[in-house]
Amino acid sequence: MGRVNGLVAEQTRKDDEFDLEVMARLDVDLASPAQVGRGMGLTKGQVSGIKHRMIEASKVCPDAAIKPENQDGGMPARWWA
């Protein structure tokens, strides 16, 4: 969920792509949260918060794909771009 003037708003595709880019910089580029934050205009804490929310969401909705190419890690880096 994004925030608009401090209020919780529905997550948009743009928000999803932003969160995916944060995760790619952490997991694919192996950048630190501070490096990702500097490059994307976020604090280290905001980067850590995005990662935490993504991890928690994956616990609620685990990967149920059967084909290896559809499983977590099966897509090429930055497939959404």
How many domains is the chain built from? 1
Q: Residue 78: inside a domain, yes or no? A: no
Note down the domain range covering 32: 11-63
d(CA 44, CA 48): 6
Rounded to the nearest 10 degrees, the angle between the axes of helix 33-40 and helix 13-27 is 140
d(CA 50, CA 25): 12
Tell me the pTM.
Answer: 0.76
Q: Residue 69: inside a domain, yes or no? A: no
d(CA 37, CA 55): 18
What's the one-letter identity of residue 35?
Answer: Q
Q: Which residue has the higher pLDDT, 38 or 11?
A: 38
Q: Residue 75: inside a domain, yes or no? A: no
Q: Residue 27: inside a domain, yes or no? A: yes
Q: Which helix (H) or strand (E) holds 54?
A: helix 44-60
Q: Which residue has the higher pLDDT, 11 or 35?
A: 35
Q: Residue 72: inside a domain, yes or no? A: no
Residue 4 above 60 pLDDT? no
